[in-house]
Structures are given as C-alpha cells and as structure tokens.
Chain A
Amino acid sequence: MNDDIESQSRQWLALIASGRQGALENFYRHYHAQVQQFALRLVGNAADAAEITNESMLEVWRSAAGFAGDSKVRTWLFGIVNHRAIDLMRRRRRLHSDDLEELVDDSPSCHIADVIGGAQDAGHVRACVEQLPERQKAVVHLAFFEELSYPEVAEVLHVPVGTVKTRVMHAKTRLQQCLSARFGAGRTA
C-alpha cells in the first residue's frame, strides 16, 4: 500500500514538473492534511499552518523537477514544510526559545513518581509537549504522528541523526521537568 502511494506520488511529481496543475491538485488532495498537521504542530496556530501549507505546495510546484528520488516523497515534502516553517518563525522572530535549546539543564531535579503521575494525565502530557521548543516538537511529531524512522526525521530536518537523538534527550528532560512540576502542583493545590 505504501509502495503504491510512493509510486503514485512520484508520478504526480513528474507531471507537476512538466506543468500539469491537475497532478498538483491530486498531490495537494493527498498530502494537504499531513502537511497542515505537521505545520500546525510546528507553529501552533491554524492561520500560520495554512500559510505554510500554501507556501510548501507552491515550493512543490516550483521544485518538483529537483526531486532526485533518493528519498521518499513524503520525507522530501516534510523537509520543505520544515524549511518553510523555520522561515516563517524566523521572520516573526519566534526562534528565541530554540536559540536556548542547547542551554537546557540536562540534570532534572524531579522525582520519578511525579513524572509517572504527570504522564497519567493526558492534559498534562499535551501541555508539556506544547511547551517544547519547535525543533524538539518537530521530532516528536515526526516520530509519533508520522511514524518516520530516525534517519528519515534527520533527512526532513536537514540535521545529522546524532542531532535528532540529542533533541530527543533534551525533549525528555523538559518533559520530565514539566510533568513532574504539573503533577506536584496538582497535588499541593
């Protein structure tokens, strides 16, 4: 099934490269939801996600001829979306939290029981994922929502696989601290 979709997507790209709008419409219909959801996860609001979706699909229209076929179409497409999202956030100077990504304190002062307690509450989990920096959120989304492998995540984000794993470790620390704090706050309230 996945091979069929990949094969169909490559055919669409070949037709898009030759200027066929109908192929782009089919491509848009198939991938629009995934693009929109990834963009929404990255930027956090529907209006910006729609803008990124539009810009990403325009990029597909412009650069379909440049698709080398070395990666899956979906991986190539998510790479475009990620790039467009970073562009948008940079224009709006919203990368400040990511600038501090490498300065995260990796020695959490939280109790394991509190982390487990916090993870039992879906509301806490969602809130803690939302507070992750965009780059860490992107890794979480691509791994858990799109179910990409870690080499594919690295390809989408244009970073080495070691960087992907580092982002997971930083995300883990932030999530543990956040879940522990929320669970503790709920207990003392």
Chain B
Amino acid sequence: MTPERDDEAAGLLPWYLNGTLDAAERERVEAWVHATPEREAELEMWRAVQADARLSLPAPTFDEIGWHRLRTQLPAARRASWLKIAAAASVLLIAGLQTAILVRDEAGVHRPLSETPLADQWQLRVRFAESATLVEIGVMLDRHDAQLVAGPSALGLYTLSIPKRDAPLSPQPLVDALKSEPLVVEVTVVQ
C-alpha cells in the first residue's frame, strides 16, 4: 500500500468502527490495520473513543422553556428573513437598472461603474443554477455571510462580497465552500 493509501486508510478508522464504509473501503482498512501491532493499537484507541462518545453525554429531556422561548421569537424571525430576501431582490433590481452604464472588463464580464471593492472583502463571481430561487439564494448567501453586490452580468454572473476574516490569506476556502453548494454552478475570484 502506498503512503497516500496508508493515510487514507488511517483517516477512515472512525467510519470503519461506525459501520458506514462500503465493502471495498472496509477491506482496505482491515488490510491496513492488521499489518502491524501499532495500527491495531490505533484502532483500539478509536474504539475507546467510540465507547466514550456513546456514554459521555447525558440525554437531554424535552426543554419546554426552550420551546416557549423559541415560539415567542418566531414572528419576528420570519419578518427578518423576508426583509433579507427583499433586500437581495432590491440589489438584483438595481443591478438590472444599471445595465445602461455597464462597462466590459478584461475577462469579458460586464460590471457597473459604481462597483468599488472593499479592502476587507473578497469578491467572487458566481453563476447560480438556473433552478435556484431567490429564497434559496438568500438563505445560501446568509449562510456564507455573503452579499450580492452586482449582477447579473451579460453572461449571467453575479458578484458576491464576503468578509476576508474567515480566509485572510486566500479566497480559496471560500471558493471551495461555495463550490460545494448545489445552487452554485461556478465560482471565480475577482479579487
């Protein structure tokens, strides 16, 4: 087994123990584990962690107070949610109205003249799935702390602004996170 396959087998031990690996993965992990006593010991260590995980947390009882607290917050929460969606829709509308003053940049993508990127924000250009609804996009943007700052371009691209605090050195983690979203078809870095 190559070192890479070694690492992969070692990284699968928790799932070998919880029974969620497929047959081929199980076989690979078993071959890896039984090769040396050290690896057998590693599996035993994870087995001890598994046993502890099942015992260490008390089972919470239904929290009536928690439910009543939540229930009082529901009307305001739904209103706030619709306000965010309305704000996102407003951005789209404004962006649409700005098409009269669009310029074309070196990537062949239109952008509004008013677009002035902030230093503490990454700007990413995104294409959403055609089936994506405004509601879904609003929820997803909220999840990534992202704001829609421009779009759609003539190519159907939107520009998002996301604070750099989560990825100060490179926008790649944000790109990867957005790419993992089913609503997102493609992501490129603007700056």
Contacts and interface: CB of A to CB of B under 8 A. Distances in A.
Interface string B129-169: 00000011011101100000000000000000000000000
A63 B139 contact: yes
B93 interface: no
Contact of B10 (A29, A53, A83, A172): A172
A120 B11 contact: no
B45 A33 contact: no
A62 interface: yes
A81 interface: no
Interface string B13-28: 1110111110000000
Given A53-B66, A58-B73, A125-B52, A140 B57 contact: no
B108 interface: no
B74 A61 contact: yes
B140 to A, nearest CB: 7
B90 interface: no
Contact of A24 (B15, B55, B74, B142): B74
Contacts, number: 151
Contacts of A5: none
Nearest to A160: B176
Contacts of A155: 180
A112 B38 CA distance: 7
Given A65-B135, A66-B139, A126-B52, A145 B41 contact: no
Q: What secondary structure prevails in chain B residues at the interface with A? A: helix
A103 interface: no
A125 B136 contact: no
A158 interface: yes
Interface string A122-155: 1001100100000000011101110111100001
Contacts of A176: 42, 45
Interface stretch (B75-83, B99-107, B113-121): B75-83
B44 A119 contact: yes
Interface of B: 7-8, 10-15, 17-21, 37-38, 41-42, 44-46, 48-57, 59-60, 62-63, 66-67, 69-71, 73-74, 77-78, 80-81, 135-136, 138-140, 142-143, 176-177, 180, 182-183
Interface of A: 19, 21, 24-25, 28-29, 32-33, 36-37, 40-41, 50, 53-54, 57-58, 61-63, 65-66, 68, 70, 83, 112, 115-116, 119-120, 122, 125-126, 129, 139-141, 143-145, 147-150, 155, 158-160, 164-166, 168-169, 172, 175-176, 179
